[in-house]
Amino acid sequence: MKIKLKHIVLFVALYTVNIVYSQQIDYVQIQSIYDKLPLAIQQQGQGIIQDFPIVFTKTDGRISDIGLNIVQGLEEPVLSSFINRKFLELALAKDYREISLTLDHSKSRLLYNGMDYQTGTPWNISDGFNLLRRKKEISVRRDSLRYLITWSDGVDNLALMFPANIQILTSKDKKELEQELESVLLFSYPDVISREISNDENLSEVDHIYLLNNGYLFIKDMTNSTFFQKQSDGSYSVIYTPNQLEASFNNLFQEPLQHSSKLKIVVEQQLYGKSKKQFAISLSHLLKFIKANGFDAYVGIENMSTESVESTIILHNQNLNYYHMLHIKTTPKELFAEQGGNLAARWYAYIPGDNILSLYEEELKEKNK
């Protein structure tokens, strides 16, 4: 029986990914394995795979994705992976039907000089790859719902439009993403650099407290704000003191504080199917995760007294249009203990943009029962 080249390439792709996940073989070893395969396996009929070498995406030292080397270095790494994977699928598709199914599967559109591959005047997919072979410019545009990536050689252009949706871009459903949350949180992220405030910043001042307000989410009490106090030399420092409890609590999720490394978030993650998972992470590492992954952190205080602190934290990734929601309970004593303390967090992960408001309202109703 004759085995199609497409199936051989996909087998190699799946096999190498599985090897890495089961045995944690290094990326260089996998690339070496691929390079030693017969040339017939490495290239497709029109030479597409030969002109655009296979690229492996490495996550935490393991291969997590595979595609053609079309684009690298976009602001969101998942975008590069998605585009490279999508063009590999298009290169391996044998006809119009398979190309259409590939695009439909990810709710994507492919346009050549404005002509939609599926609904416009028919054009050959090789025209798009020929443009990518030539010297080209790339532009990235995004609104709240979708991305438009355009390549141009000055005369013709090729565009790929796809949803700003974390599940589509990673080819993982919500259950899979939830299962990976702990490992994603514990990944090694760069240190967060403290914000330097100058006198021309747009700060508002109330009772000698200076507020940098970056907006709110849903309600005005759910804010993305940082609180400062002015020093005698005219500089500003981030507030963290028991005398300013609300400002201090907000600042934990906005700026790196010396005390943050002493605080531990004890997470009870709410999983698909109403199951739960427990783990812990330092608050300083959570802030690294927030900043490295492009989240805006919105803090809503629901109860604050000398005995307890209760709050909802919503992390919003605008680029990929999803949220994390944490309902946190702690006490002032835990927050300011010299040896550090704990914050209990009920965590809802990877919430789609169109579901977050209803889930937030349900959470408020549950608490108010």
What is the residue extent of each domain of the chain? 5-170, 174-367
Please count the residues of the chain: 369
Q: Residue 20 corresponds to which amino acid?
A: V
Q: Which residue has the tokens 């609180």?
A: 227
Q: Is 117 exposed, middle or buried (0-12, 13-18, 19+ CB in 10 A)?
A: buried
Residue 262 to residues 17, 334, 340, 361, Cα–Cα distance (Å): 38, 10, 4, 32
Residue 103, pLDDT score? 93
Beta strands in the chain (DSSP E): 54-59, 62-68, 109-112, 115-116, 137-142, 146-152, 157-163, 204-206, 209-217, 219-230, 236-238, 264-270, 276-282, 295-304, 309-317, 322-330, 342-352
pTM reported for the whole predicted model: 0.83
Residue 27, pLDDT score? 47
Whether residue 214 contacts residue 296, with contact meaning beta carbons closer than 8 Å, is answered with yes
Return d(Cα 94, Cα 250) in angstroms, integer. 55
Residue 63, pLDDT score? 62
Greatest pairwise CA separation for the chain in angstroms: 83
Contacts of 192 (CB under 8 A, 6+ apart): 255, 256, 287, 288, 291
Whether residue 245 contacts residue 332, with contact meaning beta carbons closer than 8 Å, is answered with yes
Residue 345, pLDDT score? 97
Q: Which alpha helices (H) appear in 162-270, and where do they start and end? A: 166-170, 174-185, 245-251
Reading the chain (369 residues) residue by residue, the pLDDT tens digits are 333 444 445 545 544 444 444 444 444 554 554 554 444 344 443 445 566 777 776 666 666 677 888 888 888 888 998 999 898 888 877 788 888 998 999 999 999 999 999 877 778 888 898 899 887 789 999 987 899 999 999 999 999 999 999 999 988 899 999 999 999 998 888 999 888 777 666 788 888 889 888 788 888 889 999 999 988 888 889 999 999 999 999 999 999 999 999 999 999 999 988 899 999 999 999 999 999 999 999 999 999 999 999 999 999 998 898 999 999 999 999 999 999 999 999 999 999 888 888 887 787 777 666
Residue 88, pLDDT score? 84
**Helices 5-23 and 27-35 sit at what angle, rounded to 10 degrees?**
150
Return d(Cα 298, Cα 312) in angstroms, integer. 8
40-47 long-range contacts (CB < 8 A, ≥24 apart) are: 40/5, 41/5, 41/8, 41/9, 41/12, 44/5, 44/6, 44/9, 44/91, 44/92, 45/5, 46/126, 46/129
Short-list 169, 122, 174, 112, CA closest to 146? 169
Residue 6, pLDDT score? 46
Whether residue 68 contacts residue 91, with contact meaning beta carbons closer than 8 Å, is answered with yes
Residue 257 to residues 8, 76, 268, 304, Cα–Cα distance (Å): 53, 27, 24, 21
Residue 326 to residues 163, 222, 349, Cα–Cα distance (Å): 26, 13, 8
Residue 358, pLDDT score? 82
Q: Is 313 exposed, middle or buried (0-12, 13-18, 19+ CB in 10 A)?
A: buried
Return d(Cα 62, Cα 57) in angstroms, integer. 8
List the structure tokens of 248: 């201090």
